[in-house]
Amino acid sequence: MGERFMSNLDVTGVRAALCLLLCLTILQGCDGAPPIDYSGPVAGWPVYAADIGGSRHSPLTQITPANVADLEVAWTYHHGDVLDGSKSLAPSTFQNTPILFGDLLYLCTPFNRVIALDPETGAERWSYDPQANLDGLYTLNCRGVSAWTDSRAQAGAHCARRIITGTLDARLIALDAETGTLCEDFGEAGQVDLKQGIGETRPGEYGVTSPPLVVGDRLVTGTMVLDNRRVDAPSGVVRSYSARTGKLLWAWDSLPPGVDPVVEVNGERHYRRGTSNAWSILSADLDRNLVYVPTGNTSPDYYGGHREGLDYYSSAIVALDADSGNVVWHYQTVHHDVWDYDIAAQPVLFDFPTPEGPIPALVAATKMGHLYFLNRVTGEPLLPVAERPVPGGAAEGDFLSPTQPIPTMPPPLHPTTLHAEDAFGFTFWDRGKCRDKIAGARSEGIFTPPSEQGSIHYPGNVGGVNWGSLSIDQDRNMLVVNTQRVAALVTLIRRATFDAMFAEAGPPDYGYQPQEGTPFALLHEPLLSPFGAPCNPPPWGTLTGVDLATGEVRWEVPLGSARDLAPFPIWLFLGEIGVPNLGGPVTTASGLTFIAATTDNYIRAFDNADGEELWRGRLPFSGHATPMTFRLRPEAKQHVVIAAGGHMLFGKEPGDALIAYALPD
């Protein structure tokens, strides 16, 4: 009895000790995450892509691979400018990357409103509404604003610090950074009309969706020209203006050397119509006074029999002298482009490492999933590019280049062929439907020409790599880039047939495209199964780390899950399949990549060493934007900010959330 009593006491003591240990463990956990390190660098995000060279890289180190899993929402801001396309106006998509200029965060909404926020609380300081005309657009979108400081102005004077924004109805606007009021000395009462010299435009056909480039005291901007409308679309001219006065300084139109870019129309001088535009983000090398322009296609995109050499600068990187707008060099990534493989991604500057020392370089990422490493002074390739034979069989009245320049290093990041046996589906039935679609179309690789039979374009015109571009982690001698892999079916329709199809009512907003002035209209549609799955095999999205010196792929991982894409419970079984994505990555000096972009509603953090996913945060809408990160002061936290705004063209509900993450106290 006594022995049993002592045994029970021992058991009770052990239990008490265990309970005490458990309580202490819980209390320790309640103290929160490990202490935040405030000893590292402070940095802002003063330009759309972190810097004028487009690196999308931050020197910040407070958020690390070890503590990134502790991130939590610091604040959320809703701007309210949302349309779902159910009315007469187009749907909105919030693809904005804010900038940190001084002590305020600046963004623009899909309606072109400009808003200033407190960066650490998300509280609104001011907003400005330009009352943009939104008629006739496919989507409503504003990717970012720019900032400029007038070195001649007295500190604190009105408009000494300016926010510059472009609008969907083709205006440049200068605002005082402190108050959001117009800078009256810029253009006409604070605005420049970009339609000057353009001539006739249709609603929604001509405007600005990307932030203007600031080079010294100059602004440089291209414009968005609506695709596949007509051969005499508005000019794609790139122009430079004084940031102080709004005066036009120079204009460059993408015409072959020796061709006059200006013509007389009814006694007025206009830029030539139908030329390649530059709708995406420009970059610059201030030391060499060069502006790098990624160009689009000569109108329209999928037929070029009428161009007569006017696509000399199409689908190219063009280096312009920042003072004059004269061409210094250009490198064309697609000859006679009839695939809409224009360069959507911002050219990104970096130092190419060699045993003899660094070479000033840039990397151009394309919708084909090709990465071109170029000397940014001369335009010469730094890694091998081969002119390789491609399929023939142009549409009637058109022609094709017999070869195309294809990088051999880095290897293409996108598959180059799609055959019937490759077809994917959620079930045997929808896989069979995909197999039939592929078998019934031309599918001869990445440069299969458009046809009346129907041609598989893989990648489709979204990419590959789109405007999200890539990030350079120079410390680790690598770049990080996301790609998507969704095939498209492109069918040419003879003009008489097309006109008869839509004799009583015009073509629908999506899919059918007129290509006026050519023998063919166009039906362009994503290649999907009856259940909405891409007909090509997954992954449909990837994140890739590439060595800057050799071009070798260090790692590649699927990007995104089937959640919010496939129906329940199918997405549970598919897991991290890799999904369609639009947006870009951001890297940090601590060795992280932050990216949203995917059709599932998440922002993620990856380890730059091996591509391992370390954290994800659930978003209220899909985040088809590029994040940014900042830390204001030595005693402040590092924040990561992402716009979550959906995208109706991806089947994603439009939204209006700007969300900031930080480590907990």
Q: What is the bridge-based pairing of β-strands 541-547 and 602-607?
A: unpaired
| Site of tokens 């007129």 | 514
* Residue 647, SS3 per DSSP: coil
* Catalytic annotation present for 340: yes
Tokens 């034979």, residue? 389
Report the distance separating Cα 95 and Cα 626, nearest Å: 7
Instruction: Dig out the tokens for 294 from the structure.
Output: 């990624």
> What is the spatial distance between Cα 430 and Cα 535, in angstroms, rounded to a whole number?
9
Helix (H, G, I), strand (E, B) or coil at 16: helix
3-state secondary structure 381-439: ECCCEEEEECCCCCCCCCCCCCEEEEECCCCCCCCCCCCHHHCCCCCHHHHHHHHHHHH
Burial (CB count within 10 angstroms: exposed 0-12, middle 13-18, buried 19+), residue 516: middle
Q: What is the DSSP code (8-state) at residue 26?
A: H
State how far the Cα of 352 lies from the Cα of 474, in Å rounded to an integer: 9
- Residue from 81, 169, 227, 340 carrying the catalytic annotation: 340
Across 153-170, b (16+ Cβ under 10 Å) vs e yields eeeeeebbbbbbbbbbbb
Residues facing residue 37 across a β-bridge: none
Sheet of strand 359-365, all strands in order from the earlier edge strand to the far edge: 348-352, 359-365, 371-375
Query: What is d(CA 118, CA 665) in angstroms, rounded to the nearest whole number?
Result: 19
How many degrees, rounded to 5, is the angle at CA 603 between CA 597 and CA 607? 100
Supply the residues annotated as catalytic: 340
